[in-house]
Amino acid sequence: MKILGIESSCDETACAVVEDGKTVLSNIVASQIDEHRLYGGVVPEIASRRHAENIGWVTSEALERADCSLDDIDAVAVTYAPGLIGALLVGVSYAKGLAMAAKKPLVPVHHIAGHIAANYISHPDLKPPYLCLVVSGGHSHIVEVLDYCKYRVVGRTRDDAAGECFDKVARTLGYEYPGGKFIDAAAKKGNAAAFDLPHPKVQGSEYDFSFSGLKTAVINLVHNAQQKGIEINREDMAASFQRTISEILCTKAMLAAEDLGYTTIAVAGGVSANSGVRERITAQCEKRGYKLFLPELKYCGDNGAMIACQGFYDFAAGRRADMSLNAVATLSIENL
């Protein structure tokens, strides 16, 4: 069964054709990052306008590369939540038009469920139940994946998302937006023990995250040094920050796994591309004898393949949308 997946929740206009939830026949991603970079972050109105311009050719190219016509597609899956509302509406409206014109079922997909599903593409042997650490630009969750379409969030961030924290620290160190990948590259050249950064104390749920204290600590250290005319070594700070945030993410994920009895762990979202996070969680899982699944780098960030993949499971579970489907800016993955 071939699913066409459309993604437009943030700053990537993406479309893919995926067969049986695992074989990627095409995966086209049009990134707007060069334009948003000028403003130091995603500008919602610009994002919507670029999606409107790009979605047509991105979809045509995805069909062409998959050597398919719309007739060969069994269903159209689209991200409808969560995300920037204007951006989501472009994908949702386009998918509705496509599904209606081609008389194909329309499947609404949750963006975070899509990120989690990216792991099924890279690892067909991964099957629920398992515990997933979701770390993206907008979300940081520890999720029990009870079944392909059923989730329980056991930990969440109280303030910034992990990716947001990477990007803000990167900006403080003078890297361009989005700075996560620059921190990653700089960290490889720095001394991870150079700075002792704080691990946050979160009251209440022991699996919840808080990254604002860590971010502020870096900002204060950098600004204080600047005021004294001292230059902080960017690579050392990047390496120390990456070590600290990797420790925080892994410690909580391992604690949740142990308490809840999971021995199969996955990681998902843009920050799952981070080499420090990947190395630490790999080592921690090996130590405990847990099975770990990480998405291939090309499926860590936003893409259409992950939406088509999750669309396959949502379709199988009977999820359908009609022409009244709307975009939703905020929606918990538990409430699908």
Residue from 184, 235, 302, 314 that binds Zn ion (CB under 5 A)?
A: 302
- Residue labelled with tokens 């204007």: 86
Options 66-74, 163-171, 255-263, 314-322: segment touching ligand KG4 (CB under 6 A): 163-171
- Alpha helix (H) ranges present in 155-233? 162-172, 180-187, 212-227
Q: Helix crossing, 85-102 with 44-65: angle to 10°?
A: 30
Per CB under 6 A, 274 contacts ligand KG4? yes
Give me the torsion for CA of 129, 140, 6, 63, rounded to 10°.
-70
Residues 236 and 190 sit within 8 Å (Cβ to Cβ): yes
DSSP string, 247-306: HHHHHHHHHHHHHHT--EEEEESGGGG-HHHHHHHHHHHHHHT-EEE---GGGTSS-HHH
Binding partner at 274 among Zn ion, ligand KG4, none, C-beta below 5 to 8 Å by kind = ligand KG4
- Residue labelled with tokens 């520890």: 142
- Residue labelled with tokens 């009609």: 322
Cα gap 285→81, rounded to integer Å = 31
Per CB under 5 A, 136 contacts Zn ion? yes
Task: Report how many residues bind ligand KG4 under the rule CB under 6 A.
Answer: 20
Binding partner at 91 among ligand KG4, Zn ion, none, C-beta below 5 to 8 Å by kind = none
Binding partner at 25 among ligand KG4, Zn ion, none, C-beta below 5 to 8 Å by kind = none
CA atoms within 13 A on the CB side of 270: 24
Q: In the bound complex, what is the minimum distance in angstroms from residue 330's beta carbon to Zn ion?
A: 14
Nearer to ligand KG4, 137 or 190 (CB): 137
Residue from 114, 128, 295, 301 that binds ligand KG4 (CB under 6 A)?
A: 301
Options 122-130, 136-144, 277-285, 311-319: segment touching Zn ion (CB under 5 A): 136-144
Residues 312 and 1 sit within 8 Å (Cβ to Cβ): yes
Q: In the bound complex, what is the minimum distance in angstroms from residue 178's beta carbon to ligand KG4?
A: 4
Structural tokens at position 272: 């799952």
Cα gap 225→230, rounded to integer Å = 5
Binding mask 83-122 for ligand KG4 (x = CB under 6 A): --------------------------------x-------
Per CB under 6 A, 180 contacts ligand KG4? yes
Task: Report how many residues bind Zn ion under the rule CB under 5 A.
Answer: 2
Distances (CA, A) of 103 to 3, 106, 176, 197: 14, 9, 44, 56
Structural tokens at position 231: 């230059």
Cα gap 81→115, rounded to integer Å = 12
Q: In the bound complex, what is the minimum distance in angstroms from residue 40's beta carbon to ligand KG4?
A: 13
Cα gap 185→149, rounded to integer Å = 35
Residue from 5, 21, 270, 311 that binds ligand KG4 (CB under 6 A)?
A: 270
Binding partner at 273 among Zn ion, ligand KG4, none, C-beta below 5 to 8 Å by kind = ligand KG4
Q: Which of residues 239-268 bind ligand KG4 (CB under 6 A)?
A: none
Cα gap 184→276, rounded to integer Å = 7
Nearer to ligand KG4, 113 or 256 (CB): 113
Options 159-167, 196-204, 216-224, 323-331: segment touching ligand KG4 (CB under 6 A): 159-167
Per CB under 6 A, 167 contacts ligand KG4? yes
Per CB under 6 A, 10 contacts ligand KG4? yes
Per CB under 6 A, 302 contacts ligand KG4? yes
Q: Which residues bind Zn ion (CB under 5 A)?
A: 136, 302
Residues that bind ligand KG4 in the complex, under the rule CB under 6 A: 10, 115, 136-138, 163, 166-167, 178-181, 184, 269-271, 273-274, 301-302
